[in-house]
Each structure stands twice: as structure tokens, then as C-alpha cells.
């Protein structure tokens, strides 16, 4: 009885192959072919036959042409004359019990070959091509040179409003119960501002339902006159403007460090940067986001969502943004995955104003494939198959936020024009611009 592992086949195929090739074990006496008397090596199609009669039977069944005996249908088949009458040889085959249904059809053979090939491909470990490795290296290198995750060179900016205000205002005796969407459970940012220059601002705990905040926003917007526009309503805005400007400059440097980016026309470089800056900034901030405390840990400074509220941003942006940071952070991405995500966002062919659509499309596709291969190679566990689609979903999610961000920046600009930097305005403006 047989023996070799049959690999890729289905159970029925494996059984069929065994039937075809059952071998007489070596310690048994050699036996004679039931058809021609030659030495039989095993059972083929249900009967003990020689290799010659096995092949003949398969061919005869597949040809399915009617065979005719030139004599009396009584030819005796021997090793020496077995070729002389095919009709009688086939009749003998069937007489000793060889079964035509055990011969695989051409289609079955082809299917089996494909299955074996597929199995081989699955068994070969997926590997990053040298091109893909180079891409990742270039991205990592560019990213590390342009992202100061400790925010150590982040200095000389206008101070955060909560640093100006007295410390006692930031200390609350009790902590509110943890709720990731509405609470910011740290003392440094749960507070109600009593800034003399502007209306009251909301805390993390109520930023999503802060109707009074939104009301004051509208009122300020509708009124006209110097006094109103010059007053500092959004107390965190000067600092966050400086932070954002600093981040944008780094993102430009990052993009410029990439060979593929440099090879694009200036117009397309600008179109891509305008489209992706907000997204890349969020991806970078996500790398320092602590999903347990809801705090962005930027070295010596930490931020919470309330800081953005006090810079004038509204729930329509902040709510999905906060969810996005939680979702993405929970994926536990590695640095390589984060940089590939940044590059996929950067090389988005459908940004407004892009000319070399197909070139950028191909670049993005290569990046997507690199990320997919990276995940296939480097990740383990059942969740790895869902990781790539989840990353793509996060990128898609950011698309709508980019538009809302631009809208809100322009609204803030209307109210407090002096504090938004030209660079930020350039990023959010729709008009094509000539230089960065």
C-alpha cells in the first residue's frame, strides 16, 4: 500500500491517485500484469498491471475512439504482442477489472496542476522586493530626519494659554469618570478658562456639547469692527499656530527628501502637499498619542483635544478627529507602517490641481503594495489580514476631515486673523499657489 504524502490534492484526488499507483511492496514477489503477463509494479485503475498497460488504458479511455479487432475479438495478449490489437487489449483491461472512471479527465488533471502550483506559491514565503526595502528605508530616513518625536527643537513659540493662566485654575479636586470621547482625564487640561480677553472656553468634558461656546463663536463672527476682530477669543490659537507651522515645515522637508516627490513638477508637488499636509500631520501626531490618557505626548509639552477647542476648532472636526486617533493608535502600527501611510497620503493622485495623475497613481499603488507586503511578511496572528484594510480605512476617514479642517481654519481666520500663519493659510487655500 502506498505511502508518499499527496500534498495539495483534495481527499478524493488523493484517493484516486492512490488507486492509480498502488505499488506492490518490495518484499513481495514480483507479480504478473493481468493484461499481458509482463512484470507488474502495482495496482493501476483497480487492477495489477505493468506500466505499459497502465499507460495504454489511460490513453485508450481518453481517446474514446471505437477500437476494432481485425480478427475475431479473441486475441490473446502477451508482453510481446500487446501492441498488435488495441481492441482486445482494452477488452482484457476491462475484463480484469480496470475502471475507466478512475482515469482523470484532462480537466481534472489541469485543475490538479493549478492547485499544486497555487499551493507552491502559498508555501513560498512572501518577501519584500529589494525595491520595496529601499522605499521603506528612504521613507524611514526622511521621516526620522524631519520628525522630532521628542519635540526637542520645538521652542521659542508663543506659549500655551494654560501656561499663562495660573496653575491653580488647572487643578481640579476630583477626576471625572473616564469617557474617551468626552473626557480628558488629566488635570492639566480639564479646566474652564477665565481669560479676561475672550469668552469662556469649554473643557474636554463638554466640548462636544458646548452650545455656549458655539454661540459666542457665531456672535463674534456676525459682529463687525476692529475691537472684535482684534480681541483674542481663541486663547490657544497662537501656540497651536506655531506648532502647526512647525509641523508643516517638517512635512515639506520630509516630502522633499523623497526622490519620487522631487521628480514631480513643482505644480504637482504643491498640489500634493496642499492635499496631504493635514493628514500627514495627524499621522505624525498619532505616533505620540496615548490612547489610554487621550494625551498627545510631545516631549516636554502635552496636548489634549481641549487645546484645539480653545484654538477655535469645532466638534464637526474634532469629534471624528478624536475617534480617528483612537482607531489608528489602537492598531499599534510600527514605524515602517506609519511612514508608508504618510507616503500613501502624500502621493494621492486625486488631489485638486494634480496634473501627472497616472504617474502619481502608480507611485501610490507601489506604496500600497509595499505596505501590504510588509504586513504579510512582518505581522503574525489572525488580525494581520485585517490590518491593511483598516489602515486604508483610516486614510479614507481623514479625507473628509481635511476639507472640514480647511473650512474651520478659514472661519477662525475671519475672527482672529492675526494669529494664523501664511503657511497654514496656503495649505488650506483652494487657489493654486506658486511656491512653498
* Shortest separation between residue 4's beta carbon and Zn ion, angstroms: 24
Residue 206 near residue 179 (C-beta atoms within 8 A): no
- Out of 69, 291, 359, 377, the residue judged to bind Zn ion by CB under 5 A: 69
Place of cell 492635499: 275
* Shortest separation between residue 92's beta carbon and Zn ion, angstroms: 9
- Out of 16, 61, 88, 136, the residue judged to bind Zn ion by CB under 5 A: 88
* Shortest separation between residue 379's beta carbon and Zn ion, angstroms: 56
* Shortest separation between residue 107's beta carbon and Zn ion, angstroms: 28
* Shortest separation between residue 386's beta carbon and Zn ion, angstroms: 57
> Does 85 interact with Zn ion (rule: CB under 5 A)?
yes
> CA-based angle 72:78:81, to the nearest 5?
70
> Does 93 interact with Zn ion (rule: CB under 5 A)?
no
Nearest of 203, 189, 159, 193 to residue 302 by alpha carbon: 189
Nearest of 402, 374, 365 to residue 260 by alpha carbon: 365
Residues binding Zn ion: number (CB under 5 A): 11
Place of cell 492512490: 18
The CA distance from 375 to 385, in Å, is 8
Q: Which is nearer to Zn ion, 90 or 273 (CB)?
A: 90
* Shortest separation between residue 78's beta carbon and Zn ion, angstroms: 9
Q: Which is nearer to Zn ion, 60 or 184 (CB)?
A: 60
- Out of 16, 48, 53, 233, the residue judged to bind Zn ion by CB under 5 A: 53
Q: Which is nearer to Zn ion, 52 or 320 (CB)?
A: 52
> Does 50 interact with Zn ion (rule: CB under 5 A)?
yes
Cell numbers at residue 395, please? 486614510
Q: In this structure, what DSSP letter does residue 418 have?
A: G
Cell numbers at residue 285, please? 501626531
Report the chain's terminal Cα–Cα distance, integer Å: 77
Q: List CB contacts of 135: < 8 A, sequence separation 6 or more.
A: 343, 366, 367, 370
Strands annotated E in 289-399: 289-290, 295-298, 301-303
Q: Which is nearer to Zn ion, 75 or 387 (CB)?
A: 75
Q: Which is nearer to Zn ion, 96 or 359 (CB)?
A: 96
Q: Which is nearer to Zn ion, 13 or 22 (CB)?
A: 22
3-class DSSP assignment, residue 303: strand
Residue 94 near residue 79 (C-beta atoms within 8 A): no
Q: Which is nearer to Zn ion, 67 or 214 (CB)?
A: 67
Nearest of 328, 331, 315, 311 to residue 419 by alpha carbon: 311
Q: Which of the ranges 44-52, 123-131, 314-322, 345-353 carries the binding residues for Zn ion, by CB under 5 A?
A: 44-52
Q: Which is nearer to Zn ion, 53 or 248 (CB)?
A: 53
> Does 270 interact with Zn ion (rule: CB under 5 A)?
no
> Does 51 interact with Zn ion (rule: CB under 5 A)?
no
Q: List CB contacts of 140: < 8 A, sequence separation 6 or more.
A: 335, 336, 339
- Out of 48, 60, 75, 398, the residue judged to bind Zn ion by CB under 5 A: 75
The CA distance from 180 to 187, in Å, is 15
Q: Which is nearer to Zn ion, 38 or 148 (CB)?
A: 38
The CA distance from 307 to 47, in Å, is 84
The CA distance from 284 to 244, in Å, is 12
Cell numbers at residue 107, please? 480537466
* Shortest separation between residue 72's beta carbon and Zn ion, angstroms: 7
* Shortest separation between residue 124's beta carbon and Zn ion, angstroms: 40
Angle between helices 335-346 and 130-146 (to 10 degrees): 90
Residue list 354-393, contact with Zn ion (CB under 5 A)? none
- Rg for the chain (alpha carbons), in Å? 37
* Shortest separation between residue 22's beta carbon and Zn ion, angstroms: 16
* Shortest separation between residue 104's beta carbon and Zn ion, angstroms: 21
Q: Which of the ranges 78-86, 216-224, 343-351, 353-361 carries the binding residues for Zn ion, by CB under 5 A?
A: 78-86
The CA distance from 362 to 348, in Å, is 10
Residue list 10-39, contact with Zn ion (CB under 5 A)? 33, 35-36, 38
Q: Which of the ranges 83-91, 122-130, 393-401, 420-428 carries the binding residues for Zn ion, by CB under 5 A?
A: 83-91
* Shortest separation between residue 69's beta carbon and Zn ion, angstroms: 3
3-class DSSP assignment, residue 23: strand
Which residue stretches of 185-258 are H helix?
Answer: 211-222, 226-230, 237-256
Residues interacting with Zn ion, by CB under 5 A?
Answer: 33, 35-36, 38, 50, 53, 69, 71, 75, 85, 88
Amino acid at each position: 500500500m502506498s505511502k508518499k504524502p499527496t500534498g495539495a490534492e483534495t481527499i478524493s484526488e488523493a484517493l484516486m491517485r492512490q488507486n492509480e499507483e498502488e505499488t506492490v511492496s518490495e518484499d513481495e514477489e514480483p507479480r504478473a500484469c493481468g493484461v499481458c503477463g509482463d512484470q507488474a509494479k502495482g495496482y493501476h485503475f483497480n487492477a495489477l498491471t505493468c506500466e505499459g498497460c497502465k499507460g495504454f488504458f489511460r490513453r485508450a479511455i481518453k481517446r474514446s475512439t471505437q477500437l476494432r479487432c481485425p480478427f475475431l475479438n479473441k486475441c490473446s495478449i502477451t508482453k510481446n504482442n500487446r501492441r498488435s490489437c488495441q481492441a482486445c487489449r482494452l477488452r482484457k483491461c476491462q475484463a480484469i477489472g480496470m475502471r475507466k472512471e478512475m482515469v482523470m479527465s484532462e480537466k481534472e488533471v489541469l485543475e490538479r496542476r493549478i492547485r499544486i502550483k497555487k499551493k507552491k506559491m502559498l508555501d513560498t514565503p512572501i518577501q519584500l522586493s529589494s525595491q520595496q526595502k529601499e522605499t521603506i528605508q528612504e521613507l524611514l530616513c526622511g521621516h526620522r530626519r524631519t520628525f522630532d518625536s521628542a519635540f526637542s527643537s520645538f521652542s521659542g513659540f508663543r506659549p500655551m494659554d494654560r501656561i499663562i493662566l495660573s496653575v491653580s485654575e488647572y487643578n481640579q479636586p476630583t477626576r471625572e469618570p473616564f469617557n474617551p470621547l468626552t473626557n480628558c482625564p488629566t488635570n492639566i487640561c480639564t479646566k474652564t478658562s477665565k481669560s479676561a480677553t475672550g469668552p469662556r472656553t469649554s473643557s474636554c468634558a463638554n466640548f462636544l456639547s458646548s452650545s455656549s461656546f458655539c454661540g459666542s463663536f457665531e456672535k463674534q463672527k456676525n459682529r463687525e469692527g476692529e475691537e472684535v476682530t482684534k480681541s483674542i477669543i481663541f486663547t490657544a490659537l497662537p501656540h497651536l499656530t506655531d506648532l502647526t507651522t512647525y509641523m508643516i515645515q517638517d512635512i515639506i522637508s520630509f516630502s522633499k527628501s523623497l526622490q519620487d516627490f522631487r521628480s514631480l513638477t513643482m505644480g504637482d508637488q504643491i498640489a500634493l502637499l496642499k492635499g496631504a499636509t493635514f493628514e500627514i500631520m495627524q499621522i505624525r501626531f498619532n505616533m505620540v498619542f496615548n490612547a489610554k490618557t487621550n494625551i498627545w505626548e510631545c516631549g516636554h509639552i502635552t496636548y489634549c483635544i481641549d487645546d484645539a477647542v480653545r484654538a477655535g476648532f469645532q466638534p464637526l472636526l474634532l469629534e471624528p478627529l478624536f475617534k480617528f486617533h483612537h482607531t489608528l493608535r489602537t492598531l499599534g502600527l510600527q514605524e515602517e507602517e506609519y511612514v508608508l501611510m504618510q507616503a500613501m497620503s502624500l502621493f494621492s493622485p486625486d488631489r485638486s490641481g494634480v496634473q501627472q495623475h497616472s504617474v502619481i497613481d502608480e507611485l501610490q499603488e507601489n506604496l500600497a503594495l509595499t505596505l501590504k507586503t510588509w504586513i504579510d511578511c512582518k505581522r503574525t496572528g489572525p488580525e494581520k489580514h485585517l490590518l491593511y484594510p483598516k489602515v486604508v480605512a483610516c486614510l479614507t476617514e481623514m479625507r473628509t476631515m481635511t476639507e472640514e479642517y480647511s473650512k474651520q481654519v478659514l472661519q477662525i481666520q475671519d475672527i482672529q486673523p492675526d494669529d494664523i500663519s501664511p503657511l497654514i493659510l496656503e495649505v488650506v487655500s483652494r487657489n493654486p499657489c506658486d511656491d512653498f
